[in-house]
Structure 1
Amino acid sequence: MQKTTETDNTKKFSKLFSELDHCTDVKQKQIIEEMNGIIDEMDKEEFTSAFTKGFFHETDKMIKDKQLSLENVILMLKHMGYCKEMKKIWNNDFQRCSLSKRIEKMIVDENKKKKGKNEKLLADLCESYLFLNSRFSKELLAIIVRCLLKATLKKEENEETQKEVEIALLALSNIGVFNTVQKEQYLNEIREIIKNHQKYLNLTQLAYQSAWEFFIDRFFKDRNLEDVIENELHFVREVTGRLEELVVCIDWKREKDERGKKDKEVQILTRWLDTIDYFLLSCKLWNEEYIKLVSCLVKTYLSANDKFMEISEKCIFPLRNAAKNRTVKTDDLLKGGSIGLFLEELMQSTMNYGMTNQSLTFCLSISERLKEKTDDEMEEAKRKELKRKVLEMMEEEGYEDVIISFHKIFDFLHRNFWIDISLNISDYFVHL
């Protein structure tokens, strides 16, 4: 049945695309809106099958031959890009095609205009380009970021404006961590966008998440941003609150076949977890709100477990990074429930290799922390007490026996997963 659905979606889309030739502009728009509805239903395999280099080349040819209006192409590309971003689909065919070059030139040309510049067209072109590319020149990125940040600072609070702002911020969030944006090009604007929402709640959930994702991706390469992120904009507190809201909103008890395509809340939650992951990989400033964040990640994991495995697995990564980074204290991890969670996970006979690897990495980090002595008598006393509590939990869960049982696959995990784990079994054990 699934195979038939995939074939039907792709065939319907291709058939409608072939009908765009020699249509009136109004009819084209109707067909594209129908095509956009099919894009909503596509899974990753269908999406990749439909949007090939050949498809983009044909679209470009139709623009060149004046068979397809630019306005209608943008209507299709923006919706395609929105779905690609929300479904986290990797497709790099666009950035290597003639249509990408055409839009890139149009952005540069429109931006150069001193008089008669069409700000709406420029924003549409920038969004289409950002959604469908992953690598950008610094010069083009400077134009795009300036244009879209300007678009997000609109003060109107009607639904149409909110949607425009959401799309602009979602597109900006696609500028990944390996693309460099100069601080002066975005810092004041993104700070204002986030502060305004914290004060007036003027953004949609997705727009607010996208603003933070764009900002945290910049933080990945510029650690000097942490003071603004933590002490001024209070990222940890904010993201904990958003997770708590989403965990309550999602109906975790529904069966998979009742859910159909992902709810928007599930997609937004997944995006927040990715953003938290990048943050905990890079952060250096500690604050007491980490306990609540850890607790919230554990709660999300337990809520999603079994039926939403993708979310459960995404909760594991930031918790593992928190243990490796050490900005989050061992006591925070214990009180937040993550140590207990990982110990329980190691007991599961149904664990997959990926989850096993993450759990072992977490436990190895905790073991290393608890072995580190300090010359400060009070801190050393705290460390010993903490170690006692953790060891009691480990003994209760039969931790050492489980680690011994996993030892035979250490080398396999070490060779097949990106994160290194120690092959020395004694590194995982802690004794008083």
Structure 2
Amino acid sequence: VAEGDRNLISHQVTAKLPIIHSQSPANQELLETDKIKILIVDDEPINIQVLVNSLSSENYVITQASNGLEALTLIEEGFKPDLILLDVMMPKITGYEVCREVRKKYSPLELPILMLTAKNQTSDLVEAFNLEANDYVTKPFVKKELLARINTQIRLAKMNAAYGRFVPHDFLSLLEKPSIIEVKLGEHQEKNMTVLFADIRSFTALSEKMTPPENFAFINNYLGRVSPVIRKNNGFIDKYIGDAVMALFPTCPDDGVRAAIDMQKEVNLYNQQRQENGLAPIAIGIGLHAGNLMLGTIGERERMESTVIADAVNLASRLEGLTKVYGSGILVSDAIMARLDDREKYKYRFVDRVTVKGKTNVVSVFEIYDTETEESIQLKQQTAEVFQVGLDFYYQQKFVAAQKVFQNILHINPEDKVAMLYFKRSRKYRMYGVPDGWAGVEISTDK
């Protein structure tokens, strides 16, 4: 126990229930979400109460666990404190074992562990540090020293979290580096992943009507809505390029497609709010492709950044650009469609075969339209079979029949921009013929 607290009368402390202390005047203005969460793990109620009293002057939210198993259960259920004060000698499972299990989920930079114990032999300290405990305090402790050590570890963890906002921890994991300080210029790894590009349509025209502060507020409001759904679907944001977002999904293409759908849903909700405030709705285009990527660092000794280099990145960007051509919210490549666990879970249709700017390989492009209006979805599903018939005529160079089919679709669904595109192409090729060597592949010049 702490010096000066040894005459404290023991009483029962309920495990798991948070005790909130916010007496420090300097911290009164912090929001509840900004308060530092500390998990105290000790099998002695008197020790827990002494620690609570020692921390009472700080802006900490304290959660208690009366043994190691309770602590591990809390963490397994999703609770992530900012720091763990961990007793070593406990029944059933020791603090050393708790530390070992926690480190399987969180690194020392992500979740500091400060061990408390009466054991003060060098071998005890070495064992704790070998298990990646951040610090070690012997009992009886001095309150000021304990607070200083806690604040140091939390400050280091927050500094690491701040770095993570600029270089994602997922990126470091893919480079097989536990921390940004271990990354060296030129290091790289090759991975097969899904790439997502998203961009606000006509952003330049929108931004011209806003002041610089309004531009920043608008972009951050938008990004604050779409970015979390990327993380929710097991992706991470590689970079922001103005209003554009580039995200990576290391696990499977389904994650990327679900994220794209959720992003469009978030924009729909955002537009409801904008319209209530008398603002015009916005639209975004999203392109996805999957393939081998080279992740690494570029730059020079004094200034470097993480980046991804690959044809897959360029193609995903080009597909995003093509959303404007086809009037689509989400376009994906055939590589995405081929790797989906069950493509029938999505509302999709074939759009075109193209070679994008700067590339020679032919890419089959598909539209995913799950987030369009109910009327649009219904009309596209209603005309799906005849749309395929029109495509068959088109690729067989039966342009008279193809033109008639797409004209009929437009009578049913005048807003179908893809049908309009094929109608115009069929009419042009019927009137002027096709170029030599034509194989139904469009050469896209859009960036």
**TM-score normalised by length of structure 2:** 0.25
**TM-score normalised by length of structure 1:** 0.26
Which protein has the bigger strand share? 2
